[in-house]
Chain A
């Protein structure tokens, strides 16, 4: 299952084929349904702690993943479920990690915010705001050290963009021409603090200007726009021109984490986004309008995804808790 989703990636050119659109639709829907299910399981007490859902932001990671090639790495924050699914990690293993079971990617020891897959070059899942940014540059450093043309995709939020270490990293990445794409997922809020209340400039893509890093603001609700920007950025990085900043303007529909009173924005604001800018509806409309897919085709995809998610949820509940002996393993290699 995982393998076929990987090979179904969009082709390398800019133009969106029917297959590309269907692929995007499918991937985004997988994330959306996965997150909805995670929300339900959380409500049932099967998932604990912090759980940050990616609903609304799906186009960002799906669009960018379509520009990756083998050996490219990705690293992100605690809002990481979508990134893991998009890079081909198994929904069962991700969901079982959320429920803290032995079948999870980290054997239940990492949880929602700390998951990794060496195999898929997914380097976490980091709970400390901003910390994954220099780590991403370090992955890019390794590519340069080894002389390959791989790129490290480093995702972080609008709030994280105010962390000092981000600028330390920008400086080194530009100084050393590291092949890293800084993807600022600007969902307009850092917990309850809107961008306006936290940033001296609304234009986060210009934050690299002082370091000579090109930046671009992208409609992060439009997967094709994301993909186009991603192709440009990856080309820049792969040809040794150094880092690139993509500010993805996006929106999260749900609370910051599961326990969010959401007093900082109006219901209408969220509703408007959902109705007018939803990234999945957008692709769905394109597919239907251009007669690239029938309602029946799309229903079949919905059904297939529902099955995958149900299977993941079932697995996440059936998988046993980690053996008590696991307490003491993996402290040292």
Chain B
């Protein structure tokens, strides 16, 4: 029976890709495991193998086609003896590699539009032009601009140079800056984090990329004990002007050891600065500020956000100050505070609530240390209610800290207890249904918002 070959997902977060090249043509017979096509994503080019033997009956998507959604039929495979007419009726066969099939069932939400036109942030002058860019491109541009500006800035990490970045963040940097400044390391997080701290003590400005922050646990001794504390322990004589960056938190279906959100963990440590951008503009502006900062800055990125596009101001030197929150959406009935990918749920909830006549103000913290609690307090004094949203664990979370700050500084203004929407208090499960349950959801945010507004 003829079967359809579907566009494969080559990584847990891939949503679409380019069908770069067909290595077979209609009428060719193929064997199981034979490479039949090259698929390109913004992160990688991968070879795609046939899972079955048969004859290529029909090619449905031409090579060179961009933006082919995962699971779209791309060709039809005929069994022995079938002719091309069978192709039309072919049922779908699962693509060879589809690690994220279940999670993908619900399409990853696109960035909801922020209410009205994005309010020009104070860091963007009136009349600035914007262009759409992915978070990935914005991060790359930030590093490239800072490396052009300062010869002491260099990038090191696993696969950052020749491979162009495990998540393709450092695309093109090796070509522009050479192997002296874009350095592939062995898989040795503890070692290269410490080495980078030493280089920073000596006055260089390393950017350390962790393939993900899960692996930075092997390096956390150097991040905390060496980088964060030395300025204090040396009485101000020497510090660590450096950046530790990489994806943080849950990707999709990668389970407990690859899904940990460290926002609250790092936000606890004096001597560190911690940012977690949501938009591409903030990713660019905050990373540039982080590279210039004379302190160790943790830049928490998110794999799922890498491919999302946002408007980025077209400015020669666009920076976002560390420690300033952004009011992403103005409202009057309650305040939702979030950061990073949590903003996706916060903004979706605000959209839904608006339909029911509830006006939510949404604050994107952007920086977790220092944290702009003043903006949150001012908002809550206006709305009198607050819900926090984050993907991390509930105990000693960013939300629980904000709750205590609000109790202290805005007690008389609160008309309801502050509610925290967080990831569940369990290691991240693998099973698609359980993973969904473990993550914070828009529905939970909406429910919390209704609870604090007594609706």
Residues of A near any B CB (own CB < 8 A): 73, 75, 104-110, 114-118, 123-128, 131, 133-143, 145, 152, 164-165, 168-169, 171-172, 175, 329-333
Contact = CB atoms under 8 A, between A and B. Distances in A.
Given A142-B202, A333-B239, A134 B231 contact: no
Contact of B234 (A124, A139, A143, A172): A124
Contacts of B235: 104-110, 116, 330
A109 B198 contact: no
Interface in B163-188: 180, 185-186, 188
A75 B222 CA distance: 15
Contact of B190 (A73, A134, A141): A134
Given A131-B225, A138-B195, A73 B202 contact: yes
Contacts of B230: 114, 116, 124
B101 interface: no
Contacts of B118: none
29 contacts: A105-B237, A110-B234, A116-B233, A116-B237, A124-B233, A128-B226, A131-B226, A134-B191, A134-B194, A134-B197, A135-B201, A135-B226, A137-B198, A138-B200, A139-B198, A139-B202, A141-B199, A152-B198, A169-B194, A171-B188, A172-B185, A175-B186, A330-B231, A330-B232, A330-B235, A331-B231, A332-B294, A333-B294, A333-B295
Given A110-B234, A128-B221, A171 B186 contact: yes
B192 A168 contact: yes
Nearest to A173: B195
Given A116-B230, A116-B238, A131-B221, A331 B271 contact: yes
A169 B204 contact: no
B99 interface: no
Given A115-B234, A118-B237, 15 more contacts: A105-B235, A110-B235, A124-B230, A125-B233, A128-B225, A131-B225, A135-B195, A141-B204, A164-B190, A172-B186, A175-B186, A332-B273, A333-B236, A333-B239, A333-B241
B339 interface: no
A110 B295 contact: no
A148 to B, nearest CB: 11
B318 interface: no
Interface of B: 154, 180, 185-186, 188, 190-204, 221-222, 225-226, 230-239, 241, 270-271, 273, 294-295
A322 to B, nearest CB: 9
| Most A-side CB within 10 Å, residue of B180, B185, B234 | B234
A109 B234 CA distance: 7
A123 B203 CA distance: 12
A116 B197 CA distance: 15
B232 A169 contact: no
A110 B233 CA distance: 4
Contact of B195 (A126, A127, A172, A330): A172
Nearest to B225: A128
| Most A-side CB within 10 Å, residue of B190, B198, B230, B241 | B198
Contacts of A137: 191, 194-195, 198
A330 B202 contact: no
Contact of B199 (A115, A145, A164, A329): A145
B190 A118 contact: no
Given A106-B233, A114-B234, A331-B231, A172 B192 contact: yes
Contacts of A126: 226
A124 B232 CA distance: 13
Contacts of B273: 332
A135 B221 CA distance: 12
Contacts of A145: 154, 180, 199, 204
A105 B234 CA distance: 7
| Most B-side CB within 10 Å, residue of A133, A138, A139, A169 | A138
B234 A135 contact: no
A126 B238 CA distance: 13
A329 B191 CA distance: 30
B221 A138 contact: no
Contacts of A109: 232-233, 235
Contact of A332 (B154, B190, B295): B295
A138 B197 contact: yes
Contacts of A329: 236
Contacts of B270: 331
A211 to B, nearest CB: 11
B260 to A, nearest CB: 21
B407 to A, nearest CB: 24
A181 B191 CA distance: 16
Given A145-B154, A332-B271, A172 B294 contact: no
Nearest to A137: B195
A114 B199 CA distance: 18
B242 to A, nearest CB: 10
A169 to B, nearest CB: 5
A75 B186 contact: no
Contacts of A143: 202
Given A116-B238, A138-B197, A333 B202 contact: no
Contacts of A141: 195, 198-199, 202, 204
Nearest to A166: B191
A266 B427 CA distance: 50
Contacts of B186: 168, 171-172, 175
A330 to B, nearest CB: 4
Contact of A134 (B193, B203, B204): B193
A131 B154 CA distance: 22
Contacts of B192: 134, 168, 172
A312 to B, nearest CB: 18
B198 A106 contact: no
B198 A138 contact: yes
Given A131-B225, A134-B190, A168-B186, A75 B198 contact: yes
A110 B234 CA distance: 6
Contacts of A135: 194-195, 197-198, 201, 222, 226
A134 B198 contact: yes
Nearest to A127: B225
A131 B222 contact: yes
Given A134-B191, A330-B232, A123 B226 contact: no
Contacts of A175: 186
A186 to B, nearest CB: 22
A330 B226 CA distance: 14
